[in-house]
Structure 1
Amino acid sequence: MLHLAQARQIKNITFKNRIIKGAMSEALANREGQPNELHFGLYDAWAKGGLGCAISGNVMVDFRAKNEPGVVVVETERDLAQLTQWANLGKAQGMVQLIQLSHPGRQCPKGLNKETVAPSAVPFSPMLATTFGTPRELTEAEILDIIQRFAESARICEKAGFEGVQLHGAHGYLISQFLSPLTNKRQDQWGGSIENRMRFLLEIYRAVRAKTTENFIVAVKLNSADFQRGGITEDEVVSVFQAIDAEGIDLIEISGGTYEAPAMAGVKADKRKPSSIAREAYFLDFADNIRKQVGCHLMVTGGFRTVQGMNAALDSGACDFIGLARPLAVEVDLTDRLIAGQDVRYAVKPIKTGIPFVDKMAIMEIIWYAAQFKAIAQGKQPNPKLSPLKIFLGYAKSNVKAMLQGRLNSRKQA
């Protein structure tokens, strides 16, 4: 029997196989951030394709802080009925579902929200400064409020019937911003030493645990590295993993990078030794090391393409679950095919528009796949040959409209 096909239990929840869909931006919500029939269609398709577990795309905990148009927001029970319908789709097919809870911090396009906030008022690199503005530094009262927002969103997700949540602590979002000395210049209890910089993550975890039941899964996604000079060190990363493990985290997903150094899309991660590349996954060498440091379940996402590579990773003990993301955007039934011993059909390559400054940002790694999700959600077949340039122009147009609407709303509120 393939390792991929073996069941695994976390608490009293059974994962029918070892394949987990990693979080990817769906961009399917309406202006109010509500889940709808498109989400149901998309996740039902994946469930019927045999997935053991699906982690949702970014779900924001604050409507004032959205990372993109079309993102789901869960801050009250307003959409409990829709969330319950979404959760029940997974249960019907035996697919565990975790909602990824997130706050983008400074990673919000200019004009989308009234303002952006972050641990410190650190601007983006010149290449991205045209898209992302300099944030305002959070007050301590605001930090405490955001912590409780994560907890309240988790409570609502459990009430809706989801098996758990994943805290997004990677890819340069707010938790990751607190962890990195590049974006956290604070001199109070939330900045400075790694013990202070990880306080935000640990307090969110504790607050979520306090508002959910014992068998509710709480996972976290963490960077193995920022892949930026002056970022969080390897020793500091290990200490964060050890600290959250000691608190009782159920599952850690290992990833890496930020918008400014997008290793999660393979842009930086393949500057590796041939022996590492042969193991496929971008972050498997780090997982080998961290496995010796923590006792919780581990998931590695990024780079897996063959059944042999996935089973070898599980057999080595470096991870307990295989995370797949982009391949599932063009192969809805991929899980069933992998368990049958068949490899990924379409090689994942960088999505290029031909516009240099756009291609350097790796934004197409989000929006091209989101276009595939919309097709799947509408009952259509994904299209691996979809034009990146066409998708980018449509995205730019919708972003401009959302920003103009945001400015209009801001004037009305003023």
Structure 2
Amino acid sequence: MHDLRQLRLDPSGFDNALARRGMPPIAEAILALDSQRKSAVTAVQEKQTRRKALAKEIGILKRGKLDSSTLETEAVQLRNDMEALEQNAAELDAKIHTILSELPNQLDPSVPDGKDEADNLEIHQVGERRDFSFIPLQHFELGEALDEMDFAVAGKISGARFVVLRSHLARIERALGQFMLDLHTREFGYTEVSVPVLVNANSMYGTDKLPKFADQSFRTEQGMWLIPTAEVSLTAMAGGEIFAVDRLPQRLTALSVCFRSEAGAAGKDTRGMLRQHQFQKVELVSITTPEHSEEEHERMTRCAETVLERLGIPYRRMLLCSGDTGFGAVKTYDLEAWLPGQKAWREISSCSNTRAFQARRMNARYRKADGSVDFVHTLNGSGLAVGRTLIAVMENYQNNDGSITIPEVLRPYMGDESVIGRE
């Protein structure tokens, strides 16, 4: 959500910032509605002043047993006019609120201009890509050959974009989630939280998932929403709160099931488990002060990178361009893992700073040392997407006989097994 006060101070700057996202000028239209709303509010105040004066005059006339019917008629008309004006002001306010809620966040100056992912800027690459002595397979070829990854059964019980994992692959998926949680809580100071995966509309709206992404989420008949990411639950916990400055930053993490309808993804990644309706993800959320949000963004991204480094997965950090940065973010780093079976870099984590955009929508604030109150900054990132990390492990650690070597850091979670092979 944007700050209307800032728009009033610099309408051309507001339009110029949104133009970087390819949006037409809109500040003038918003200010016109705002002017109408102010006029209606002013008119209500003027009529209220007149009503108070009339009430006194009517009282004097009645005490003197004089006719006050004319003034009483005027008072009734004033009341009716005020109700109409108040309704008009409320409708205008709601319209302004709706427009502002549907506008994306303004981008940080460091974000490069660009149309789509092809224009993203590579910051660095980490890790050596393995030189295979054989043609590496994709994860679904490996999983199906092991008889531990089943899309046919998942399709029978649920439909497309679901998977059933069995035996070692089910266990290593669980191991990955536990390893990530242990790393983030024990080494990086995040607090583990078990969150609801069903949330109300206010939580979805506050984390900028509504109304923009309604078609990409699942909604129950009772009006609840299945979370597309634990970011929603974790960040919404701050809604309506006023934090003491010495309680910030708040660093939270959760391993949860996530649900996405993948609207508009027809024909994309139809093989395998890269793009699923249901998947697991470890989420990182930070609630902090404005002066520390940039360093918190870097810290969060490093936490996610460390997971890949400990697993020995080659990756690269990308700074997303203006055309690829998400709706609520001012700046986003994507981490892309190298998948040798696909011979491609694929996103495995996205770490974003939304600054006060979400906080303003959910009224999440903090009290400064001087007693004044301001909006917190919120950040979120994948630490990591568990299913995609499983894919990266399978493809990078595959062997010529179809077996998969288990990364050393995961072996304590796997009963000290070192290889997944066909039994």
Q: Which has the larger radius of gyration?
A: 2
- The structure whose RCO (Cα within 8 Å, separation 6+) is larger is 2
With normalisation by structure 2, the TM-score equals: 0.22
With normalisation by structure 1, the TM-score equals: 0.22
